[in-house]
């Protein structure tokens, strides 16, 4: 991290007027996306833009605060952290920020927690029900209650095409995105609120398998909800190593077919051309990874993790091409 926790601590103490109640600022996730810090002593979380060049600009703290506020205020919505102060004055601690609840849970994505490994199959089943239930709750939310900009499927694909081009991504990835822009999948109906990054790694759990919050709303908007379902589908298709590291290998974890069936029942929509929606989302991930590798290669971001990202780009490009061509097994 490049930010000085002591400068954050002193600035926040003055701004919040909490003096010694705020004991320290602890980095939780820093570097290339929205940065997250624990505010020890007051049970809060601080969210800020990345301190160096990031991967998902623009970093609009006010927009994220508004989305979380809207979700918290929608009784039938997914669980989210309660949000508090929003500060757009960069002079306070160096950038705009907002503050939200610090919930005592655990998120996992690459390694299955020990408590989940030994759980009976009924627990992963309940967790999947809560996760997909939270995502479909977003899709059922009235559009008027979602304070985020609309983006069509073509605009979504074009955005990631622009990112891929700027990152000098492999020509094969650019070709997939060009095809998706020129031949977008059909719509399932009118636009709905969408999360944009609804992976299970953005779920916060307690050790009884209760979903405490759906996190990371920076890509939320109004659009085709099949984009969210397509994003979820990619995790079933990334290979045995990916599946075995994140809970998908467990008895009780939902299959593709069950996930799709529950989504259709919950939304009242029919899944159509899901392979093309998955292709957009795999290509999105590939474009983000390519941008990270490009930033490192050009010296604009020193994060050594970005250097390793170049090695995984071909796998994502191949998967995106397979999805776009409908070469995967039937859903």
- 119 shares its domain with 259: yes
Q: Which residues contact 298 (CB under 8 A, 6 or more apart)?
A: none
Structure tokens at 223: 């659009």
303 lies in some domain: yes
Residues 229 and 308 in one domain: yes
Residue 126 lies in a domain: yes
Q: Is the same domain home to 130 and 271? A: yes
The predicted structure's pLDDT at residue 303: 76
**Structural domain includes residue 175:** yes
Q: Which pLDDT score is estimated for 206?
A: 96
The residue range of the domain holding 187 is 114-324
292 and 220 part of one domain: yes
Q: Is residue 43 located within the same domain as residue 151?
A: no
Q: Do residues 65 and 125 share a domain?
A: no
Q: Is residue 61 part of a domain?
A: yes
**Does the residue 269 lie in any domain?**
yes
Domain with 200 in it: what CATH number? 3.90.1200.10
Count: domains in the chain: 2
| 272 and 123 in a common domain | yes
Give the domain-ending residue among 72, 101, 130.
101
pLDDT of 193 reads 98
148 domain residue, yes or no: yes
Give the domain-ending residue among 68, 101, 134.
101
Determine if residue 54 is left, alpha or beta; phi over 0 gives left, psi from -120 to 50 gives alpha, anything else beta.
Answer: beta
Whole-model pTM: value is: 0.94
| Res 245: pLDDT | 55
pLDDT at 99: 98
The answer to whether 240 touches 331, Cβ cutoff 8 Å, is: no
Same domain, 171 and 62: no
Question: In a 3-state reduction of DSSP, which class is residue 15?
Answer: helix
CATH number at residue 86: 3.30.200.20
List the one residue out of 290, 143, 303, 156 whose CA is nearest residue 219.
156
The answer to whether the CB of 28 falls within 8 A of the CB of 21 is no
- Note the pLDDT of residue 55: 77
User: What is the pLDDT at residue 330?
Assistant: 59
* Residues of the chain predicted below pLDDT 70: 1, 30-32, 239-245, 327-331
Q: In what order do the strands lie in the sheet with 83-87?
A: 24-29, 35-40, 44-48, 97-101, 83-87
Query: Has residue 108 been placed in a domain?
Result: no
304 and 277 together in one domain: yes
- Which residue, 101, 136, 163, sits at the end of a domain? 101
Residue 204 lies in a domain: yes
Q: Do residue 185 and residue 83 come from a single domain?
A: no
CA 64 to chain centre: 13
Per-residue confidence (pLDDT) for residue 33, from 0 to 100? 74
């Amino acid at each position: 991290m490049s930010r000085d926790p002591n400068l954050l601590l002193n600035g926040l103490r003055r701004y919040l007027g909490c003096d010694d109640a705020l004991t320290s600022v602890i980095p939780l996730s820093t570097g290339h996306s929205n940065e997250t810090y624990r505010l020890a002593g007051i049970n809060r979380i601080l969210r800020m833009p990345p301190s160096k060049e990031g991967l998902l600009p623009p970093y609009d703290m006010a927009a994220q605060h508004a989305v979380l506020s809207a979700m918290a205020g929608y009784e039938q919505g997914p669980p989210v952290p309660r949000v508090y102060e929003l500060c757009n004055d960069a002079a306070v601690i160096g950038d705009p920020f907002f503050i939200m609840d610090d919930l005592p849970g655990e998120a996992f994505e690459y390694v299955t927690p020990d408590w989940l490994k030994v759980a009976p199959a009924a627990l992963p089943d309940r967790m999947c029900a809560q996760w997909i239930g939270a995502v479909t709750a977003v899709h059922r939310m009235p559009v008027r209650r979602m304070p985020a900009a609309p983006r069509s499927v073509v605009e979504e694909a074009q955005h990631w095409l622009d990112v891929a081009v700027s990152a000098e991504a492999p020509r094969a990835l650019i070709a997939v995105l060009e095809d998706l822009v020129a031949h977008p999948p059909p719509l399932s109906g009118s636009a709905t609120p969408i999360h944009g990054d609804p992976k299970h790694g953005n779920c916060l759990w307690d050790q009884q398998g209760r979903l405490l919050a759906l996190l990371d709303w920076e890509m939320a908007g109004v659009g085709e909800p099949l984009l969210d379902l397509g994003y979820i589908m990619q995790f079933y298709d990334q290979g045995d190593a990916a599946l075995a590291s994140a809970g998908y290998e467990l008895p009780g974890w939902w299959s593709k077919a069950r996930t799709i069936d529950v989504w259709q029942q919950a939304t009242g929509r029919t899944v159509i051309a899901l392979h093309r929606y998955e292709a957009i989302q795999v290509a999105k991930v590939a474009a983000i990874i390519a941008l990270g590798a490009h930033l490192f290669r050009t010296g604009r971001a020193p994060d050594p993790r970005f250097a390793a990202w170049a090695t995984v780009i071909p796998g994502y490009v191949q998967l995106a091409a397979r999805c776009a061509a409908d070469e995967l097994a039937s859903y």
